[in-house]
A and B are shown apart, each in its own frame.
Chain A
């Protein structure tokens, strides 16, 4: 025995769908994905900057290691005495400090990975799967009166609903991350002259030892110093091996000085570029926090 007529029954069963669709349709009107797109772009930039920062500190640490070797050569060749171990202790301490900063860059890289995951890389698959699953399952609703357009709307609305949640979470987290990156950038800027001094120290030591070897010791092949003039004509210099004239030694020494200055200047430019990248990525993430 039926407790209600067919029309009543149909209307009764349609009510829950109507409410769900109405709720989901509200999300269709929201401009979704802008924050996520900006978040993905910012996460990519943060990953790149973290990698550059980590490589920068790794290279700086290698430069300190080279400085230890140069100090040993300097002591042997220029002073004829053993290397002072207290200097090595100080340089070892510098390397430990740089290792801490490299760990900081790695931590920033880990944040970039987590930020990218939230912005869309991993969770997008879940969302896409959920949305397409929902749309597929809703195909039968076509059969319900007034339903032809609904499954597509439901599928889109489901994704938009999750996009809304994700974008709210992205905005919440972006300000914190931007501040942390800004702090890393401030530290980098404050210590940049010291980083540059580590690089200058290595280059100045190497160039002074090299100039000494060129001027005082007969252990350096000076032919490359003449190569720019001779190479275009397939000629090679034939300098006396043990007693090259002083003017050729001076030529090589001047080349060492010029290249040292260039390397120091290039390193300062690279440090400035990294500083600018840290500022830019911090601002890019801050923009995600404010996006609507």
Chain B
């Protein structure tokens, strides 16, 4: 976690952990309203910064998904090619069988 996000998290988590006690400390409604506004702002600051970290990595995710999809397509193609190789073996089998029949006829 980068330092800025870490600082915002510490501020927000401190307020969350102690919110009930802090509200108890307020002696007027105005103070409570101010605390509520501060808490909402601290929450928004932290959530926005956190989303920016996610968004900064979006290009990397798209790239990784593209890489994985390409790998999958390549693997499927290779598997098909392998099945084709099996078909070639079958063709060889057929050729051998014909050859065997020819050999038997020659006896």
Contact = CB atoms under 8 A, between A and B. Distances in A.
Interface of A: 6, 9-10, 13, 16-17, 20, 71, 74, 78-79, 81, 84, 86-87, 90-91, 93-94, 97, 100-101, 103-104, 107-108, 110-111, 114-115, 117-118, 122-123, 126-127, 129-131, 133-134, 137-138, 140-141, 143-144, 154, 158, 161-162, 165-166, 169, 172-173, 176-177, 179-180, 183-184, 187, 190-191, 193-194, 197-198, 200-201, 204-205, 208, 211-212, 215-216
Contact of A191 (B44, B57, B101): B57
Given A81-B36, A127-B89, A140-B101, 19 more contacts: A13-B103, A86-B44, A103-B65, A104-B65, A107-B69, A107-B72, A108-B68, A111-B68, A126-B86, A131-B89, A134-B92, A140-B100, A140-B104, A143-B103, A158-B92, A176-B70, A194-B1, A201-B16, A208-B16
Contacts of A115: 75
Contacts of A114: 71-72, 75-76, 79
B96 A141 contact: yes
Contact of B58 (A100, A129, A173): A100
B7 interface: no
Contacts of B31: none
B43 interface: yes
A281 to B, nearest CB: 13
Nearest to B13: A204
Contact of A173 (B20, B51, B75): B75
B96 A137 contact: yes
A87 B43 CA distance: 8
B65 A130 contact: no
Contacts of A190: 57
Interface of B: 1, 5, 9, 13, 16-17, 19-20, 23, 32, 36, 40, 43-44, 47-48, 50-51, 53-55, 57-58, 60-61, 63-65, 67-72, 74-76, 78-79, 81-83, 85-87, 89-90, 92-94, 96-97, 99-104, 106
Given A78-B23, A90-B48, A107-B72, A123 B100 contact: no
Contacts of A108: 68
Contact of B47 (A90, A103, A177, A193): A90
B67 to A, nearest CB: 5
A191 B64 contact: no
Given A78-B23, A104-B64, A133-B93, A16 B99 contact: yes
Nearest to A159: B89
B45 to A, nearest CB: 10
Identify which of B9, B87, B103 gathers the most chain A CB atoms within 10 Å of its CB: B103
B20 A20 contact: no
B23 A180 contact: no
A151 B41 CA distance: 80
A91 to B, nearest CB: 7
Contacts of A141: 96, 100, 103
Contacts of B58: 97, 100
A133 B100 CA distance: 14
Contacts of A172: 78
Contact of A138 (B19, B54, B63, B96): B96
A17 B68 contact: no
Contacts of A104: 61, 64-65, 68
Contacts of B23: 78
